[in-house]
Amino acid sequence: MLDAVINQYKYTSLAELNAILKQYNVVADMGKEDSRIYKNKGLTFRMLDENGNKVGVPIKASSIYSQPTLKNLEKKFEENKLKRLPDMKQLKSAIDWVMVKPPRSIDEFVKALEKEKIAVVLRRSENGKIYGLTYIDYRTKAVFNGSDLGKEYSAKAIIEKCAREIIKQQATKLEIPKQLPLLGNEKHNFSLDYDFQKEHANNLNLQLEKAIELVMRPIEEYDQIPYELKKEQERKKKRHST
């Protein structure tokens, strides 16, 4: 599995490589910054448990037959920057298709792209806040951070689009006029009761914050299973049922 991932996928950093490896409960580890292995630019591979914790004995990259050392991986990082460029358009088109009608949550966004054979890895801070997205396209074996595709594919942009969709749907249920500015930034040539407009404007930020909280609800564990493994599980279930 390790050699297949390293040789077949197009990643441009250790973080992007780990986004793929973690789908298979493996991580490439440089150790802590004050560790000997980190200072010597060493690399080990570790197994992860179901909670993402490192388990078992670390295996040195240099002891693996294919020699996936940091030095050799850095060469691949540079090669893959060019190799993955032709795959960018297809990935962006898939995301654009999903966002024609934005999902109501990151969970739905992940599931929608999974149907397109694309995994979305959520990058979170220590307090659990999502600060980035990494897309793994199983069709082309290309890996991109959202910001590499363009700011409209970043975590911030996707989350805000989903939040706006929630607000729009709530506005429709409350029968608020369609021309009402959802984000309060647009200029309009219509007249509404001034007090109503003012009250609505004061509530916009609060509405957006609440909508973002709904969007960022954590996804379920089974959504972390790689697409390829899911398909294999489905095939096994069909075989047992026949």
Plot region of 120 (φ>0 → left; ψ -120 to 50 → alpha; else → beta) = beta
Q: Is 77 in the same domain as 130?
A: no
Q: Is 58 in the same domain as 116?
A: no
In a 3-state reduction of DSSP, which class is residue 10? strand
Domain with 41, as residue range(s), is: 2-83
> Does residue 113 contact residue 95 with C-beta atoms inside 8 Å?
yes
Residue 219: its pLDDT value, please? 46
Q: Is 217 in the same domain as 150?
A: yes
Q: Is 141 in the same domain as 183?
A: yes
Q: Is 21 in the same domain as 115?
A: no
How confident is residue 14, by pLDDT bands cut at 50, 70 and 90? very high
Q: Is 128 in the same domain as 11?
A: no
Percent of residues, the chain, with pLDDT higher than 90: 55
What's the rounded Cα separation, in Å, for the pair 215 and 235? 32
Cβ count within 10 A of residue 103: 20
Domain count, the chain: 2
Q: Is 69 in the same domain as 131?
A: no
Q: Is 63 in the same domain as 173?
A: no
Does the pLDDT value for residue 81 go beyond 80? yes
Residue 100: its pLDDT value, please? 92
Instruction: Select from 35, 63, 83 the last residue of a domain.
Output: 83
3-state helix, strand, coil in the chain (%, to 5): 55, 15, 30
How confident is residue 16, by pLDDT bands cut at 50, 70 and 90? very high
Instruction: Select from 83, 115, 136 the last residue of a domain.
Output: 83
Q: Which of 7-11, 151-155, 216-220 has the lowest mean pLDDT?
A: 216-220
Plot region of 67 (φ>0 → left; ψ -120 to 50 → alpha; else → beta) = left
Q: Is 144 in the same domain as 75?
A: no
Q: Model pTM? A: 0.75
Instruction: Select from 40, 57, 83 the last residue of a domain.
Output: 83
Q: Is 75 in the same domain as 24?
A: yes
Q: Is 44 in the same domain as 109?
A: no
Q: Is 117 in the same domain as 192?
A: yes
| pLDDT tens-digit readout, 101-147 | 888 888 899 999 999 999 999 998 888 888 999 999 999 999 999 99
